[in-house]
Amino acid sequence: MTEDKLPTRKENFSEWYNQLVVKSELADYAPVRGCMVVRPYGWTLWENMTGGLDRRFKETGHTNAAFPMLIPLSFFEKEKEHVEGFSPQLAVVTHGGGEKLEEPLVVRPTSETIIGYMYARWIKSYRDLPVLINQWGSVLRWEIRTKLFIRTAEFYWQEGHTAHSTEQEAREETLRMLDVYADFAINDAAIPVIKGEKSETEKFAGAVQSTSIEAMMQDTRALQSGTSHFFGQNFAKAFEIQYLDPSNTLQYCWTTSWGLSSRMVGAVIMTHGDDQGLILPPKIAPLQVVIVPIYKNDTEKSSVLESTNSVFKDLKDSGIRVKLDDREEVTPGFKYNYWELRGVPVRIEIGPKDVEQQSVTVARRDVPGKSGKSSFTKAEVAAKMHPFLLEIQDALLARATAFRDEHIHEPASYDDLKNIVQDGWAFAYWCGSTTCETKVKEETKATTRCIPLEGQPKVAGKCVVCGNKAEKKVYFARAY
């Protein structure tokens, strides 16, 4: 375990991220290229995220199930765009039990095909609809360039798959789950996101329409943090997912899928972290409070530990995720840096002076140095901690929102757009043509992120690239 200083975000944002993930013990590199090991601290963070999502899925009527990891290769060939989109990324199992398999099996890169196959068997009548199933698991997409949490071959996620009797109901489901993702991102992860529709080139392979939530990282690059797809009847026709309607006519279902992955962990790191390390939002932080005792000799030690123990108990009893760092072999200063690197939202310091005054010193992770320190009386710590954590949660969201808004600009011209996307997002009229989109990508590396669902102008304008009539505005940005 190395505890050297991180590079600053300004010096080298990418290197800051790579080292931070490893040093904070969120994750580590696995012996297989492209794969990562999620360490206990990182997995606890992910669990706190999945918990918030899973609760929301249940509230919106979904139930969990599990589908197999291995999928017959032939399944992928049933939907044309789907196979074209995924075949370069597939890992294929050709042997089992020492023998060559009759049909190769694909390690799932996503589960539309196998779930579609099962839905076709289960759905017979309009009375069986809607089917609202979610699956938690991992998937594998072959990747060369990897970055822990952001792009790895295997990653953890959930994928919801639903089938409906009408187009409208399926479209509503897609937007409902996009709202769930946005609500989670904003309120739990304190990440402001923009909901929008993907362009033809950016949408999911096989979808009629893809929508996503897009977040801005501190290097101003965009990160797609959750997606929701409307498939129309594409998969229903490929897998014959059919039902008899009330008039005894055979109909194809309308299906959707939606997913949010462990990439969200990367989003939390790159949205909130600073040069000292992680800054975790209290709602999802594995530890919300860490207590550091300070003493010089045995006399001080016993009175200080008495105080830390009682504060620890008060906080724990009130439902706070708290840790007492009573290690004797490292100094308090070392512990400050250690827990700051790991992003614990609140640090409580208790020394002889605090004991004497029946108080504790409280330091906020999101406000470094003396200005983030204040004093609570010992008796009120537990009562004050809940609102204090909420205040921090709000401050993180406000800071991230301000940062994002400062880096979104509306270009006055195409040249202006080229400048803007070097250090921000450009919000501009776009005619919708792939030609214009591709031109921007080739000349600036920026792609269209999404056509936002909200905040569209009432009147048409001119495409920032070609000058033709444009109905809607889109975000252009460099993306992960």
Partner RNA sequence: CGGGGCGUGGCGCAGUCCGGCUAGCGCGCUUGCAUGGGGUGCAAGAGGUCGGAGGUUCAAAUCCUCUCGCCCCGACCA
Judged by the rule CB under 7 A, the positions of this chain that interact with RNA are: 1-6, 33, 88, 276, 294-297, 301, 328-334, 336-338, 340-341, 349-354, 361, 363, 368-369, 373
Where are any strands of DSSP class E within 334-409?
A: 346-350, 359-364, 373-377, 408-409
CB closer to RNA, 214 vs 325: 325
CB atoms within 10 A of CB 425: 25
Amino acid at 139: V
CB closer to RNA, 257 vs 308: 308
Cα distances from 406 to residues 8, 9, 27, in angstroms, run 21, 18, 32
CB closer to RNA, 27 vs 180: 27
Q: What is the per-residue burial (b if ≥16 Cβ within 10 Å, else e) of 75-107?
A: bbebbeebbebbeeebeeeeeeeeeeeeeebbb
Contact 234, 252 (CB under 8 A): no
Q: How far is the CB of 307 from RNA (least distance, A)?
A: 10
Q: What is the per-residue burial (b if ≥16 Cβ within 10 Å, else e) of 305-330?
A: bebbeebbebbeeeebbbbbbeeeee
CB closer to RNA, 104 vs 352: 352
CB closer to RNA, 48 vs 199: 199
Q: How far is the CB of 362 from RNA (least distance, A)?
A: 9
Q: How far is the CB of 85 from RNA (least distance, A)?
A: 8
CB closer to RNA, 205 vs 470: 205
| Alpha helices (H) along 343-380 | 352-357
Q: How far is the CB of 375 from RNA (least distance, A)?
A: 9
Q: How far is the CB of 340 from RNA (least distance, A)?
A: 5
CA distance 469 to 460: 7
Contact 459, 429 (CB under 8 A): no
At 384, phi and psi to the nearest 5? -85, -15
CB closer to RNA, 12 vs 468: 12
CB closer to RNA, 166 vs 337: 337
Q: How far is the CB of 49 from RNA (least distance, A)?
A: 26
Q: How far is the CB of 145 from RNA (least distance, A)?
A: 8
Q: How far is the CB of 317 from RNA (least distance, A)?
A: 23
CA distance 31 to 28: 10
Which pair of structure tokens corresponds to residue 163?
A: 């089938």
Least Cα distance to 381 among 317, 338, 305 occurs for: 317
Q: How far is the CB of 153 from RNA (least distance, A)?
A: 13
Q: How far is the CB of 421 from RNA (least distance, A)?
A: 16
CB closer to RNA, 129 vs 479: 479
At 314, phi and psi to the nearest 5? -55, -45
Torsion of CA 131, 108, 59, 215, to 10 degrees: -130
Contact residues for 315 (Cβ-Cβ < 8 A; gap 6+): 289, 291, 322, 381, 382, 385
CA distance 20 to 29: 13
Cα distances from 457 to residues 171, 198, 429, 451, 454, in angstroms, run 23, 18, 9, 12, 9
CB closer to RNA, 65 vs 330: 330
Determine how β-strand 63-64 pairs with β-strand 131-140: parallel
Q: What is the DSSP string of 450-466?
A: -EESSS--SS-EE-TTT
CB closer to RNA, 121 vs 353: 353
Which pair of structure tokens corresponds to residue 251?
A: 């109909």
